A = this chain, B = another copy of it.
Amino acid sequence: MRHFILSAVLSCAPMIALADPLPSWNATESKDRIIDFVAAVTDPERPEYVTPAERIAVFDNDGTLWAEQPVYFQLFFAMDRLAQLAEADPSILSTPTLQAAAKGDLKTVLEDGHDGLIEVINASHAGVSVDEFQNAVAEWLDTARHSDTDLPYDQMTYQPMVELLRYLRDEGFKTYIVSGGGLHFMRVFAEEAYGIPPEQVLGTYTDTTYDSAEGDPVITKAPSIAFVDDKEGKPINIERTIGRRPILAGGNSDGDFAMLEWTTAGDGPRLGILVHHTDGEREWAYDRESPIGKLVDGLDKGPELGWVIVDMAQDWSRIYTGAN
């Protein structure tokens, strides 16, 4: 009897080791390199071993954990919310850009480039408490659908990346989002969609004010962006908020270059992962020329820096969490 139990225990060990932690990743070099890296830093017997406290993994969101075409999903929320707010008070549509946004005229909004986008975000994201704002985001996520896929936006997360996040946490990593997207926007779905709690979401944020009239304090969003969590802002925000240099970073655009550079230039084992949007059939194919998610530096310099360049068409057997 004792012998039987012992052999049962022993035979379980290799079975657990063989279970595929990344079932939506094809058996390519990208998958092998990720698994090899995780195996190395989690094995106390190996020189590459990293203590759990230092196993910090940071990921961009738009284009890395969920889709970002034809434009950042947060802009669709902003336009829908602007239209809703204008029903109560049409005077808020005080410029041609805001009028276009409320009509869903994406083309006109984007004609102003980044400025138009910021204008729409500011007009639609301010003057309410953080709680009210996040309730509005949650309602929108429940009802809005992407025009191309007809999926709820929070089901357009990438299944292979959701698996990667879970795998890393199972192996003792702490997973963070570090995104140019709005902090308060992302926190609404990050826990359910990715298993990432509010205190591990870093993003662009507006100023906020604290008011405590009549003993009922409230924190309100102001119409001004206090910090842009993009490019050099990403390592700066990581250092400021986490205070540890990550050992793994994932991104998809040149806005993530500094974050991956800072991560992988550190001592010891490091991994940079760039998601390259190569799949025009199942998703969108874009890189060097795209106004959203432009990727030039990462393609030119990433390979020699040892980064894993994920080829979505080749490396992923499945794209969206919400569709097989």
Residues of A within 8 A of B (CB): 53, 130, 183, 187, 197-199, 201, 205, 208-210, 212, 215-217, 219, 232, 235-236, 239-244, 258, 261-262, 265
Cα–Cα, bound, A244→B134 (Å): 13
CA distance A262 to B129 in the complex (A): 14
A262 lies within 8 A of B199 (CB):
no
With A and B bound together, what is the CA distance between A216 and B219 in angstroms? Answer: 40
Q: Report 25 cross-chain contacts, Cβ distance below 8 Å, ordered by A residue.
A: A53-B197, A183-B240, A197-B243, A198-B242, A199-B243, A199-B244, A201-B243, A208-B236, A208-B239, A208-B240, A209-B236, A210-B232, A210-B235, A210-B258, A212-B261, A212-B262, A212-B265, A215-B261, A216-B265, A217-B235, A217-B258, A217-B262, A217-B265, A219-B235, A219-B262
Write out the residue numbers on chain B whose beta carbons fall within 8 Å of the beta carbon of A243.
183, 187, 197-199, 201
Chain B residues with CB below 8 A from A205, complex form: 240
Residues of B within 8 A of A212 (CB): 258, 261-262, 265
Q: Which residues of B contact A244 (CB under 8 A)?
A: 198-199
Set B217, B241, B242, B258: member contacting A261, Cβ < 8 A: B217
Across the interface, name the chain B residue whose C-beta is closest to A176: B199
Which of A198, A199, A241, A242 counts the most B-chain CB atoms under 10 A from its CB?
A199
CA distance A205 to B261 in the complex (A): 23
Supplied contacts A208-B239, A219-B262, 4 more A-B pairs, CB within 8 Å: A205-B240, A210-B235, A216-B265, A217-B235
In the complex, A222 Cα to B198 Cα: how many Å?
29
The 6 closest A-B pairs by CB, nearest first: A198-B243, A210-B232, A199-B242, A217-B262, A219-B239, A210-B235
Q: Which residues of B contact A232 (CB under 8 A)?
A: 209-210
Q: CA of A265 to CA of B215 in the docked complex: distance in angstroms?
A: 7
Closest B residue to A235 using CB positions:
B210
Q: A262 touching B210 by the CB < 8 A rule?
A: yes
Q: A103: shortest Cβ distance to chain B, in Å?
A: 33
Least distance between A304 CB and chain B CB atoms (Å): 10
Q: Are A219 and B236 in contact (CB under 8 A)?
A: yes
Q: What is the bound-complex CA distance between A323 and B240, given in angstroms?
A: 33
Residues of B with C-beta under 8 A to A216: 265
Q: Which residues of B contact A239 (CB under 8 A)?
A: 130, 208, 219
Cβ–Cβ < 8 Å partners of A217 in chain B: 235, 258, 261-262, 265
